[in-house]
Structure 1
């Protein structure tokens, strides 16, 4: 596993993409008749083009790259199929046709399945996902870890699913709050490794993901996720006074954490941040996507852009990890929704202009072969962050999902070592 400690050692020949939110030219105040006619024709053509790249709602189970895996992964895939069968049976048991679940009116204490609540109407698809997420937390069979779930209602009225992992035998020395990436949520193994080193771990499924409210894979505003993270941090820190708190974010989750810790109130309470494959630099599928995204996301926010991943973006070199991901009913596997894609472009544009505002200790890891998020974005983050304590590791040949690459144990060990060095006890 090749690691580059300095961004200069692995400089890419291609420049990083910097997105801006403003127009780059001037617009004339008055138009001639000829110009107005041309403008009308252009608008008509534009709205016709809007209908071309979109399809209706579509969901895939396993990507083409996974379906082409060799026989070496056949034995492991059976276990994942068994998990999927259990989830399917669970859905039959609870009846996804039901439209009511018990949802708390306020934050529920950290205990498995307890707390008072009120009956609220919940979308059947959301209810099915939340039931699976809760069931998994309740059925945790690791004797070394206590896994609990909690729900809280955001200021917008959305119910957010959260959970925690606590070691039953190791003294707690610090806290780690995990933020998953787009269409992700699977960090239980990482949480247990952190438990073994004295870290209590919290995770939050942001809106439209896992067991939280919202259309699967749809994000109306990533600022909502940023606000939810701030509320969640308040809860975590109030329940664990005196313990150092670190935030971990992957991909879009890293962008959410990054924007949150730029808030001076959050910065003062966080001891450091760890990012894997942060969504600081994003390469759109087509140059016109940046120009058209605001309008298309307004007109067709939930539609799925089939051209966004038409070539199939690999995220891991481990076929077993890919089977696990695309067989999980809590993982959204459809094409990216238009509004979600625009929100990612929007938050990365903001971050590109505000990286100097990051002052907390920073560890960033990125695969040099990542085709989902741009490694040059991590280089820019490292170079411009005002953090006095910062480290970057560029991993040659690694793809996007670093914690699901074959060398995942080495990467987790690097993260834990970095955290250990910053816990003062």
Structure 2
């Protein structure tokens, strides 16, 4: 794996102040609290990108913080706040998909800011700037528990504002399982799912049989026969290049435990779709080869939600917010959110 290394030595007092404003972590934290060298490198890069962006076009203020889970793991989180925070109308918690990270959604987060939503992103365990071997997920139940704790934290810090969740792929599946908790579901005003990993099937059926054994015996092993390294997730060549040249995006073969966890979570969701009551919008491209549009249709058909919408896009692939039609996708999401605040 190719990893960019950026030194974290700050060259001026101005940079030091910039590092400390609202981030909840001292400049020396990565080197003193992160033991694993690979995690430290990834976290430095994630932090560096936030600091270099600094709101970009001036529409928002971008910041980062470190979130400690109940297990003691440290997760990298970031936020995008509208410049005129007095006009905040709602909150959005963004959850990325497998192998990627929250920073990939910065452009979309700024679009949400323009519409009056303060946005929070969290890199789940083993991803982006968070603790753990890259793309290794000991249990997706960890990610579910972490999301629930993070949602409660975000709501507590922003009293009176409605909270929404937006999740992509496996991130969408994690959100769905979190919504099975009545306490969390009651605090969330709605969710948006793009290409959710509901009822995912392995490339080779035999893997579904042996996955639990491989997960137990060789959990970190990379399954070279499971999936091709480079997945066709967008029809935009520039978007593909940006994704697969990003050192914070894992491009190796899926790990045994991670693969089994995705299958396990997807199967659990299929058995509990009728328990989904939260308002939701679900979107999927019909040409998606990573997750199954039929699972999305099944979610829509079986969920008990009285407020539910589905959008299927003919010929679109997996990463809807990185397809050539990304503005259309973003517009549908924004319209759905705006009608609920």
Q: TM-score, normalised by structure 1?
A: 0.74
Tell me which residue corresponds to 1:281: 199
In structure 2, how many angstroms separate the alpha carbons of the residues matched to 1:92 and 1:250? 29
SS of 1:187's equivalent?
helix
Structure 2, unmatched stretches of 5+, are 10-19
In structure 1, how many angstroms separate the alpha carbons of the residues matched to 2:185 and 2:78? 23
Q: Which structure is larger by alpha-carbon Rg, 1 or 2?
A: 1
Alpha-carbon distance, 1:114 to partner: 4.6
In structure 2, how many angstroms separate the alpha carbons of the residues matched to 1:313 and 1:328? 14
In structure 2, how many angstroms separate the alpha carbons of the residues matched to 1:267 and 1:92? 40
SS of 2:272's equivalent?
helix
Tell me which residue corresponds to 2:236: 318
Tell me which residue corresponds to 1:187: 105
2:290 pairs with 372, 385, 392, which one? Answer: 372
Structure 1, unmatched stretches of 5+, are 1-58, 62-86, 96-108
Tell me which residue corresponds to 1:151: 66
1:161 pairs with 76, 96, 110, which one? Answer: 76
In structure 2, how many angstroms separate the alpha carbons of the residues matched to 1:387 and 1:120? 43
- Aligned: 1:127 with 2:43: no
Does structure 2 conserve the Cα–Cα contact (< 8 Å) formed by 1:146 and 1:167? Answer: yes
Does structure 2 conserve the Cα–Cα contact (< 8 Å) formed by 1:225 and 1:256? Answer: yes
Does structure 2 conserve the Cα–Cα contact (< 8 Å) formed by 1:281 and 1:375? Answer: no
Alpha-carbon distance, 1:308 to partner: 1.4
In structure 2, how many angstroms separate the alpha carbons of the residues matched to 1:132 and 1:357? 40
Does structure 2 conserve the Cα–Cα contact (< 8 Å) formed by 1:126 and 1:213? Answer: yes
Q: Deviations over 1:133-153 (max 9, x none)?
A: 111111114222100101021
In structure 1, how many angstroms separate the alpha carbons of the residues matched to 2:184 and 2:201? 29
In structure 2, how many angstroms separate the alpha carbons of the residues matched to 1:235 and 1:200? 14
Tell me which residue corresponds to 2:14: none
Tell me which residue corresponds to 1:268: 186
Distance 1:184 1:311, change over 3 A: closer
Distance 1:352 1:110, change over 3 A: farther
Alpha-carbon distance, 1:198 to partner: 0.3
In structure 2, how many angstroms separate the alpha carbons of the residues matched to 1:114 and 1:129? 16
How many residue pairs get aligned? The number is: 325
- Aligned: 1:111 with 2:22: yes
Distance 1:161 1:92, change over 3 A: closer
2:276 pairs with 358, 361, 366, which one? Answer: 358
Does 301-310 or 272-281 show the bigger shift?
A: 301-310
In structure 1, how many angstroms separate the alpha carbons of the residues matched to 2:25 and 2:107? 25
Q: Deviations over 1:251-301 (max 9, x none)?
A: 000000000011000011000000000000212111111110000111111
Does structure 2 conserve the Cα–Cα contact (< 8 Å) formed by 1:370 and 1:399? Answer: yes
- Aligned: 1:140 with 2:53: yes
Does structure 2 conserve the Cα–Cα contact (< 8 Å) formed by 1:273 and 1:360? Answer: yes
Distance 1:259 1:94, change over 3 A: same
Does structure 1 conserve the Cα–Cα contact (< 8 Å) formed by 2:229 and 2:251? Answer: no
SS of 2:109's equivalent?
helix
Alpha-carbon distance, 1:313 to partner: 3.3
In structure 2, how many angstroms separate the alpha carbons of the residues matched to 1:337 and 1:287? 17
Q: Deviations over 1:81-125 (max 9, x none)?
A: xxxxxx83xx25349xxxxxxxxxxxxx98146559873242110
Q: Deviations over 1:50-104 (max 9, x none)?
A: xxxxxxxxx4x7xxxxxxxxxxxxxxxxxxxxxxxxx83xx25349xxxxxxxxx
Q: TM-score, normalised by structure 2?
A: 0.91
SS of 2:192's equivalent?
strand
Question: Which structure's relative contact order is higher, taking Cα pairs within 8 Å and 6+ residues apart?
Answer: 1
Does structure 2 conserve the Cα–Cα contact (< 8 Å) formed by 1:110 and 1:149? Answer: no
- Aligned: 1:93 with 2:7: yes
Give every structure 1 segment of 4 or more consecutive aligned residues whose post-TM-superposition deviation is greater than 2 Å: 92-95, 112-121, 310-313
In structure 2, how many angstroms separate the alpha carbons of the residues matched to 1:273 and 1:255? 11
Alpha-carbon distance, 1:310 to partner: 3.6
